[in-house]
Amino acid sequence: MSQIYRVEVPARERSGSSESLPRFVVMVEIPDLVISEFENPGSPELQLKALGTAMNATWNQRVKYRNFQFSSWSSSVVEDANPADYGAASYRAGDGSSAWIVESPFGPRHACLPIAACQNARELPPAMV
């Protein structure tokens, strides 16, 4: 069974301002085929794979705003997630991994509860196109 990760990447001004800025929140699906390619698929390897997919998914938005940096991140496995709940993926990697940008500091996001209030991926609305 594929694994779904919730990856958060907060924005920070390059000037060093400690002002809290919005963040990217990306749901990443890593399919079984990709997981099986790892020799010993542990949590760190899959978290790094999820981060890489999330960073690729947000690349176009991040390069337009170079006065921000995205140097920290966190990820967690989302239990009982159904990718169909998110609608069409925002990004698809060549290996079959998919990503859904559910919150972005630079563009529209899902019209739902704040992402921090969502306890489970099933509480997120379908992706808005």
User: Is position 47 within any domain?
Assistant: yes
- The boundaries of the domain holding residue 70 are 3-123
User: Is position 89 within any domain?
Assistant: yes
pLDDT per residue over 14-65, tens digit each?
666 656 667 889 999 999 999 988 876 677 889 999 999 999 998 888 777 7
User: Is position 128 within any domain?
Assistant: no
Total domains in the chain come to: 1
Cut 0.85: pTM above it? no
DSSP secondary structure letters along 32-98? HHHHHHSSS--HHHHHHHHHHHHHHHHHHHHHH-TTEE----EEEE-TT--GGGG-S-SEE-TTS-E
